[in-house]
Amino acid sequence: EEQLVESGGGLVKPGGSLRLSCAAFRFPFSNAWMSWVRQAPGKGLEWVGHIKSKSDGGTTDYAAPVKGRFTISRDDSKYTLFLQMNSLKAEDTAVYYCTTDFHGGNPHLLGYWGRGTLVTVSS
């Protein structure tokens, strides 16, 4: 069964940085678009950004609240997705989910989801 496993969450001070990883298992990762989605405690879902497959250009797009602070990258040789988060704010506190994107060729469908990793920004 296909699986995504996030890691790297934790407690960080405002203004600090954190790097999340997402390991992919049992699906053709290099062909997949990948997204990050976050969920603040007790709140709804918020798309963070995505990275296309290298065959589709490997470009990234970001939601307005994180643009310029967050960077998504991928290492296809290691089946791993990354989210580099800089200049963190209290409002970035959330569970961060890694998901497949453009799932099954369906535009903006987020197919497989990891279990998430909690990021807490607090002094």
Partner 1 sequence: QSVLTQPPSVSGAPGQRVTISCTGSSSNIGAGYDVHWYQQLPGTAPKFLIYRNSNRPSGVPDRFSGSKSGTSASLAITGLQAEDEADYYCQSYDSSLSGFYVFGTGTKVTVL
Tell me which residue of 10, 29, 26 sits closest to 18, measured CA to CA.
10
- The 20-59 contact track toward partner 1, x by CB under 8 A, reads ---------------x-x------xxxx--x---------
What whole-number distance in Å separates Cα of residue 56 and Cα of residue 51? 10
Question: What residues pair up with 37 in beta bridges, in sequence order?
Answer: 47, 97
Question: Binding segment for partner 1 among 21-29, 68-76, 77-85, 105-113 (CB under 8 A)?
Answer: 105-113
For residue 74, give the amino acid letter.
Answer: R
- The 60-89 contact track toward partner 1, x by CB under 8 A, reads -x-xx-------------------------
Question: What residues pair up with 95 in beta bridges, in sequence order?
Answer: 39, 118
Task: Give whichever of 77 and 105 is closer to partner 1, judged by the CB atom.
Answer: 105
Tell me which residue of 2, 5, 18 sits closest to 81, measured CA to CA.
5
Q: Which residues contribute to the site for partner 1 (CB under 8 A)? A: 35, 37, 44-47, 50, 61, 63-64, 97, 103-104, 106-111, 113-116
